[in-house]
Amino acid sequence: MRYVLIIIALVLNHSGYSQTAAETKLSAALAELNQAIIKADRPRLERLTMDQLSYGHSGGLLESRDQFIGRLMTGESDFVTMDVSDERVTVSRKTGITRFIMTAKTNDAGKPAEVHLRVMMVWQKIHGKWKLLARQAIKMT
């Protein structure tokens, strides 16, 4: 009986490592997306987001994928810096959620500002790659 319990413990422990690996890959996708946003890198933005993207801003604006990327390309939305803290990642099969605090310097349409937001993103794993499906931010109080 003791050997059965040891085997079960080893199997459960091993499955925990695969979860951690998935969380690590999702965290890397988030970091890559943030860099693509700062650099307004259209090819990476398109690769990291789904066609059905729903991108919610803290002020209530809701954008499609094309609108989100388009505003970055024109400078209407311009992130100069973006710092993420208190990041929490959850993975359940092919769905992932990232929650974090974002502090950023922006220069939207040439107007410098700072934002302090709580952000939640929903990701879907497609062909082994994480893609952003939905994002919602709220202002920190």
Summarize pLDDT for 62-74 with one digit per residue, the tens: 999 999 999 999 9
- To the nearest whole percent, how much of the chain has pLDDT over 70? 87
d(CA 28, CA 36): 12
Confidence of residue 14 (pLDDT cuts 50, 70, 90): very low
What tokens appear for 10 in the block? 């080893």
Share of the chain above pLDDT 90, in %: 85
What's the CATH code of the domain at 97?
A: 3.10.450.50
The domain of 28 spans 2-139
Residues 79 and 41: their CA atoms lie apart, in Å, by: 12
Cα dist from 94 to 17, 102, 117, whole Å: 16, 25, 26
C-alpha radius of gyration, the chain, whole number: 18
Average pLDDT value for residue range 113-128: 97
Count of alpha carbons within 13 angstroms of residue 11, beta-carbon side = 6
- Write out pLDDT tens, residues 35-59: 999 999 999 999 999 999 999 999 9
CA dihedral 13, 22, 126, 34 (to 10 degrees): 170
- Residue 112, helix vs strand vs coil: strand
Q: What is the pLDDT of residue 20?
A: 75
Domains contained in the chain, number? 1
Give per-residue pLDDT as tens, 66-101.
Answer: 999 999 999 999 999 999 999 999 999 999 999 999
Other C-beta atoms closer than 10 Å to the C-beta of 10 total 10
Mean per-residue pLDDT of the chain: 90
| Amino acid 141: pLDDT | 78
